[in-house]
Structure 1
Amino acid sequence: MLTVKELLDEAIKYEEKPLVYYIIHLLQKGKISEYDDSNFDLDLADHEEVKRLIEENPLKIEKVRIYSLKKNQKQFMFIFAKSEHEAIEFFVRKFRQKPLNCKEYPLEEEITRENTTKTFREFKKEFIDFPALLGMFERS
């Protein structure tokens, strides 16, 4: 079983905003310890206070995904964005055309860029602001 600290680390990694704020709230109120196993009761939280934290989002947690947008029959652009709509808008602004399609990929999928193989999640750490263009893939 995970400890509360391990669960918090995972929640941050996977950008699970409500869970992050519930855990932080319960830690701050002394209802749980970071060394407890993660089998805790969310009913111990002040739900209104957690709701306020989620809305204010002081940690600026936003789920960012990766999308492949097809520019033409051979070229695909990989764009990190919070939604498909945001990825398409970014593509249109950058390339002055609509993509032929837009497909979300799992962040755990590995790709090779400039002789480096990493997951999309690892590449995402290179960016601060989103949406962001990871690069182009050209099919032969």
Structure 2
Amino acid sequence: MSIALLTACSSSLASTSPNSETALIQVVNNSDNKIRFVELYFDQDLKQPTTQGAANADGSALKKGDILSFELSSSEFDLNQPVTIKAFVEIDNVKMSAGTVESIQLSKGNAFNFEITEDTSSNVIFQKLETVE
């Protein structure tokens, strides 16, 4: 298992370009919750799971609209096979699941958009958005 802490966020999807050997995962915060940390757990059959996390360097909560970028390398995963992504967030010093997106087909050199939002009961939800070309 590898862990990477990313501390940069941007304000527009696809502001970072994946290279030819990686798939770029972009997560936009569309939640009103005070999320301080986002962790993605990537899993694929017969491969070692990988965890990547992201937070603001100063420890402040993410703003609504902030975008976090994660990269999956073709050396870590077979990007021609589906990947399951589980998302966890930290709100008020409590780590909680935001949900799982099953069997996402990624590909080298492309960006894939996801969001963290919430339902009417303020439960956080992790879901896929459209692919950036």
Shorter-chain TM-score bucket reads under 0.3
Larger-gyration structure (1/2) = 1
TM norm structure 2 = 0.23
Which has the bigger relative contact order, CA under 8 A and spacing at least 6? 2
More helix, by proportion: 1
TM-score, normalising length: structure 1: 0.22
